[in-house]
């Protein structure tokens, strides 16, 4: 049945009209215990969703919607390896990457858990040999600089997690991430590197991605120029599913770490794509990281809706997206180590649910995935929070904070967290004209200084940023995205929307490189831009 025809959807629409005029101030006034009851906890993550524009009835109606679309069954279907990605006829099994040793999961007659652990073991041996210095570069020097070359899912995951877990990393080593085909990215990484001490990890599921291959070729030429062709095998390894392309590129497949087509790029950080992270933090920490994902997988699979964190986040998102008409969601980590988390979630969410047809190809008549954006607090407070507090748009926000700091320096952490608590309070309750008058605010300023409040937030509070809690946090958002994809009935695991631009770019490359004036057959805008580019470039 079409989502918008479902009685559960219609019930939410009707209910919206009763909730829309209600202020969070009233909800807290009528239920003073709300800040304790509208909470849930799992895998070390405490979620306070009381500052949302919901009542117990709203939540019940949302749970009914989850039931109506068969969410429980869909979770089980993904976890057991059904071909959930229907447009590419693939299983979606990133959850198998974190199954503990000894578990069993067969896909097409193959025990994937055994395969996963065999790769983890070889990654561990490799990581240890680098960390201990037993595996050296071609000239006998210790490898102290690792450059991961990849893009999209083959970059954002390891880059985010390396940054996030830097506290746990080997500080005698340097880790760099090169993704952009803009030569500046690789040029700056190479400028700072000594070839004799550098290892390149070429991370690409397909090993055909234009940007990654261009960067890898440039890196290879740089290394060969300094150390000779024979040095390549000591300084290059590959992470891929495509052995043929890896060896065509000139990397011995003995130096390749594999994964499988049932791991989507944006869900691949806990596969061999995380090799750079494992080298940085060591295999034991990496296994802790995987255990954190697994904790959240179990929670998602079994917790009742009312205490199921991914389901709660997913349903609250649907409530704002589809009933309040919100266009975006802000991700606001109060931790500098999570600097890249908004960018990571941007890909995870927008590439997964940025779809406008249902799984069987019908155009949807409702909004799907939101625009995801954000920055670490408190920097964002001095930049864009103004619009969240007083602008005309409704922007639901996720605040993510930690009770303990990994860098306990004087008062810093309490100052940071005072902002974390204050912002959600201000967004929810605002400041009324009456309060301003009591404070003797001049009358003409009252409209400017009024905060309407009633702006919804989730607070996620975690004790400490560790490999394990980071794993759980990422898995929480993976499953939130899954929950929403199931409700919207979209395929969250393909990304056809990135294809057209790639095809057109490949057509344009020879037009830019041609020594003679090419005859351009694009539209008048594209033709004129290309002509101008060619003129200016050759001046
Ligand atoms: C992610 C996408 C995409 C992919 C990159 C890199 O889900 O599929 O971001 O990760 O395009 O692809 P390769 O790993 O094949 O180079």
For 385-402, how does the pLDDT look when each residue is reduced to its tens digit (9 = 90+)?
999 999 999 999 999 999
Indicate whether 198 pLDDT > 90.
yes
Cα-Cα end-to-end distance for the chain: 61
Percent of the chain with pLDDT over 70: 100
For the Cβ of 205 lying below 6 angstroms from any atom of ligand 1, the answer is yes
Catalytic center residues: 351, 382, 502
pLDDT at 190 (0 to 100): 98
Mean pLDDT of 147-173: 98
Cα separation, 500 vs 457, whole angstroms: 36
Indicate which atom in ligand 1 lies nearest the CA of residue 150. 16
For the Cβ of 276 lying below 6 angstroms from any atom of ligand 1, the answer is no
For residue 286, the SS3 value is: helix
pLDDT digits (tens, 9 = 90+) for 28-55: 999 999 999 999 999 999 999 999 999 9
Ligand 1: residue whose CA is nearest its atom 16: 204
Indicate whether 321 pLDDT > 90.
yes
Ligand 1: residue whose CA is nearest its atom 9: 152
Measured in degrees and rounded to the nearest 5, phi and psi for residue 165 equal -110, 25
For the Cβ of 351 lying below 6 angstroms from any atom of ligand 1, the answer is yes
Tokens in use for 307?
């205490």
Q: Ligand 1 centre from 265 Cα, in Å?
A: 5
CB 458 within 8 A of CB 316: yes
Mutation test residue for ligand 1: of 158, 181, 205, the one with most atoms within 8 Å of CB: 205
Mutation test residue for ligand 1: of 216, 265, 485, the one with most atoms within 8 Å of CB: 265
For the Cβ of 15 lying below 6 angstroms from any atom of ligand 1, the answer is no
Closest CA to 397 of 345, 484, 455: 455
pLDDT at 99 (0 to 100): 98
For the Cβ of 466 lying below 6 angstroms from any atom of ligand 1, the answer is no
Listing DSSP states for 231-246 in one string gives GHHHHEEEEES-HHHH
Q: Ligand 1 centre from 86 Cα, in Å?
A: 18
pLDDT at 431 (0 to 100): 98
Q: Ligand 1 centre from 266 Cα, in Å?
A: 7
Which neighbouring-strand residues pair with 236?
Answer: 200
pLDDT at 446 (0 to 100): 98
For the Cβ of 209 lying below 6 angstroms from any atom of ligand 1, the answer is yes
pLDDT digits (tens, 9 = 90+) for 238-288: 999 999 999 999 999 999 999 999 999 999 999 999 999 999 999 999 999
pLDDT at 108 (0 to 100): 87
Average pLDDT, the chain: 97
For the Cβ of 495 lying below 6 angstroms from any atom of ligand 1, the answer is yes
CB 251 within 8 A of CB 232: yes
CB 437 within 8 A of CB 274: no
0.95 surpassed by pTM: yes
Mean pLDDT of 11-28: 98
Cα separation, 400 vs 330, whole angstroms: 11
Ligand 1: residue whose CA is nearest its atom 5: 152
pLDDT at 28 (0 to 100): 98
pLDDT at 145 (0 to 100): 98
Q: Ligand 1 centre from 152 Cα, in Å?
A: 5
Q: Ligand 1 centre from 209 Cα, in Å?
A: 8
Indicate whether 539 pLDDT > 90.
no
Chain Cα centroid distance, residue 327? 18
Tokens in use for 244?
């043929």
Q: Ligand 1 centre from 263 Cα, in Å?
A: 10
Indicate whether 309 pLDDT > 90.
yes
């Amino acid at each position: 049945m079409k989502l918008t025809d479902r009685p559960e959807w219609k019930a939410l629409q009707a209910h919206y009209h009763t909730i829309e005029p209600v202020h969070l101030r009233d909800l807290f006034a009528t239920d003073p215990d709300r800040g304790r009851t509208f909470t849930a906890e799992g895998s070390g993550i405490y979620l306070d969703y009381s500052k949302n524009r919901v009542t117990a009835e709203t939540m019940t109606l949302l749970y009914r919607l989850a039931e109506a679309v068969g969410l429980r069954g869909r979770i089980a279907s993904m976890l057991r390896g059904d071909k959930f990605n229907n447009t590419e006829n693939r299983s979606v099994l990133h959850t198998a990457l974190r199954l503990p040793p000894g578990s069993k999961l067969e896909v097409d007659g193959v025990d994937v858990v055994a395969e996963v652990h065999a790769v983890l073991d070889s990654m561990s041996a490799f990581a240890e040999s680098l960390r201990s210095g037993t595996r050296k570069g071609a000239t006998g020097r210790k490898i102290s600089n690792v450059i991961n070359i990849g893009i999209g899912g083959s970059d954002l995951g390891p880059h985010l997690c390396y940054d996030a877990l830097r506290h746990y990393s080997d500080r005698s080593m340097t880790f760099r991430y090169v993704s952009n085909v803009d030569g500046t990215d690789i040029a700056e990484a190479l400028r700072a590197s000594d070839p004799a001490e550098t290892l390149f990890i070429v991370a690409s599921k397909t090993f055909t991605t234009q940007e990654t291959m261009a960067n890898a070729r440039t890196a290879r030429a740089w290394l060969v120029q300094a150390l000779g062709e024979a040095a390549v095998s000591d300084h290059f390894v590959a992470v891929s599913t495509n052995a043929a392309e890896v060896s065509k590129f000139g990397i011995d497949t003995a130096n390749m770490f594999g994964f499988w087509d049932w791991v989507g790029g944006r869900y691949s950080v806990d596969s061999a794509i995380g090799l750079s992270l494992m080298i940085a933090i060591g295999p034991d920490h990496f296994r802790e990281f995987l255990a954190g994902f697994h904790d959240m997988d179990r929670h998602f699979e079994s917790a009742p809706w009312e205490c199921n964190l991914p389901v709660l986040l997913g349903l609250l998102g649907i409530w704002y997206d589809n009933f309040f008409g919100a266009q975006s969601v802000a991700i606001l980590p109060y931790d500098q180590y999570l600097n890249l988390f908004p960018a990571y979630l941007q890909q995870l969410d927008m590439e997964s649910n940025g779809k406008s047809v249902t799984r069987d190809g019908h155009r949807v008549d409702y909004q799907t995935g939101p625009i995801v954006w954000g920055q670490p607090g408190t920097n964002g407070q001095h930049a864009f929070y103004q619009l969240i507090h007083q602008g005309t748009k409704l922007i639901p926000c996720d605040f993510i904070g930690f009770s303990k700091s990994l860098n306990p320096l004087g008062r810093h952490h309490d100052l940071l967290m005072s902002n974390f608590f204050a912002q959600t309070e201000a967004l929810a309750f605002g400041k009324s004209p009456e309060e301003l008058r009591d404070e003797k605010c001049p009358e003409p300023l009252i409209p400017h200084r009024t905060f309407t409040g009633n702006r919804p937030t989730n607070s996620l509070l975690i004790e400490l940023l560790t490999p394990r809690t980071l794993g759980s946090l990422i898995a929480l958002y993976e499953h939130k995205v899954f929950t929403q994809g199931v409700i919207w009935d979209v395929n969250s695991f393909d990304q056809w929307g990135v294809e057209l631009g790639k095809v057109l770019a490949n057509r344009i490359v020879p037009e830019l490189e041609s020594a003679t004036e090419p005859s351009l057959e694009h539209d008048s805008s594209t033709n004129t831009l290309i002509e101008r580019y060619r003129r200016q470039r050759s001046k």
